């Protein structure tokens, strides 16, 4: 595919008090091998140095950056989706790290599969310093799985980890976006998208590093 034909992917990073981690998160998006990316970063009322750090990166790299009073994760995601230009949406944690070929892999996979509303992958766990957790704590090799609504509802197959979700915009629009009244926003959107008739395909490939630390409270991701 030439650059004009490749789908635009909008990555949304909602940042909240993750000053020690936000730079690496943003740089991991900017360092993707897939180049047709729109990056929207929203600071949701941080009280640490996050805004200063993001401002410095924004001046250097020119991505879209918005600062707002605290609204919560789902409100922030929905507002960002409204102004997103991409046909594929990747909500991403402000303390997580994308591996370089993540988006290229997912876009290529979804290209000829309109029935797939969400593409996901596997993750590896890192600590607050970026060190990998011991192998006994990792679960990198979850096999490929295609999930429908019953698979999700009855927990018949491993759930797709939230840090790897790439969602069709049309699927999000069809189900009305994220529900601001629910904290497990990733689980509910997966249930809603599969209930609407789409599949979720989880690829057997590590696509992101999920950071576990004491200030994880802003994101409510399940790992698998």
Question: Within a domain: residue 187?
Answer: yes
Question: Within a domain: residue 223?
Answer: no
With a CB cutoff of 8 Å and minimum separation 6, the contacts of 108 are none
Q: Which is higher by pLDDT, 141 or 14?
A: 14
Of 71-80, 145-154, 179-188, least confident by mean pLDDT is 179-188
Question: Within a domain: residue 108?
Answer: yes
d(CA 94, CA 219) in angstroms, rounded, equals: 9
Q: Is the pLDDT of residue 220 over 80?
A: no
Largest CA distance in the chain: 47
Residue 172's CATH number: 3.90.550.10
Which pLDDT value is given to residue 1?
41
Question: Within a domain: residue 2?
Answer: no
- Degrees to nearest 5, angle at CA 179 with 84 and 38: 15
Question: Within a domain: residue 35?
Answer: yes
How many independent structural domains does the chain possess?
1
What is the pTM for the complete model shown? 0.92
Mean pLDDT score, 24-28: 99
Let me know: does 126 contact 97? Beta carbons within 8 Å. Answer: yes
Question: Within a domain: residue 224?
Answer: no
Which residue from 165, 99, 88 is spatially nearest to 126, judged by alpha carbons?
99
Question: Within a domain: residue 17?
Answer: yes
Let me know: does 195 contact 217? Beta carbons within 8 Å. Answer: no
- pLDDT tens per residue across span 46-105: 999 999 999 999 999 999 999 999 999 999 999 999 999 999 999 999 999 999 999 999
End-to-end CA distance of the chain: 32
**Which single residue is written with the structure tokens 């590093």?**
209
Q: Is the pLDDT of residue 223 over 60?
A: no
Let me know: does 20 contact 128? Beta carbons within 8 Å. Answer: yes
Domain that holds residue 165: 9-218
- pLDDT tens per residue across span 124-138: 999 999 889 888 788
Q: Is 7 exposed, middle or buried (0-12, 13-18, 19+ CB in 10 A)?
A: middle
Question: Within a domain: residue 159?
Answer: yes
Task: Give the confidence band of 224 by pLDDT, cuts at 50, 70, 90.
Answer: very low
Joined tokens for residue 103: 């988006």
Q: Is the pLDDT of residue 218 over 90?
A: no
């Amino acid at each position: 595919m030439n650059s004009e034909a490749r789908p635009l992917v909008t990555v949304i990073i909602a940042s909240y008090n993750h000053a020690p981690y936000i730079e690496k998160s943003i740089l991991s998006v900017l360092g993707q091998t897939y180049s047709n990316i729109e990056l929207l970063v929203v600071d949701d009322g941080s009280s640490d140095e996050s805004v200063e750090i993001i401002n410095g990166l924004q001046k250097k790299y020119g991505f879209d950056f918005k600062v707002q009073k605290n609204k919560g994760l789902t409100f922030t995601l929905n507002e960002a989706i409204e102004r997103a230009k991409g046909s594929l949406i990747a909500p991403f944690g402000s303390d997580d790290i994308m591996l370089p070929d993540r988006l290229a892999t997912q876009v290529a996979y979804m290209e000829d599969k309109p029935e797939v509303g969400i593409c996901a992958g596997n993750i590896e766990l890192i600590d607050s310093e970026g060190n990998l957790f011991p192998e006994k704590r990792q679960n990198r090799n979850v096999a490929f799985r295609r999930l429908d609504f019953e698979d999700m509802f009855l927990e018949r197959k491993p759930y797709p980890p939230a840090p790897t979700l790439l969602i069709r915009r049309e699927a999000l629009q069809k189900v009305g976006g994220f529900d601001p009244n629910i904290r497990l926003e990733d689980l509910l959107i997966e249930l809603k998208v599969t209930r609407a008739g789409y599949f979720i395909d989880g690829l057997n490939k590590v696509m992101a590093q999920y950071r576990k630390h004491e200030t994880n409270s802003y994101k409510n991701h399940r790992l698998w």
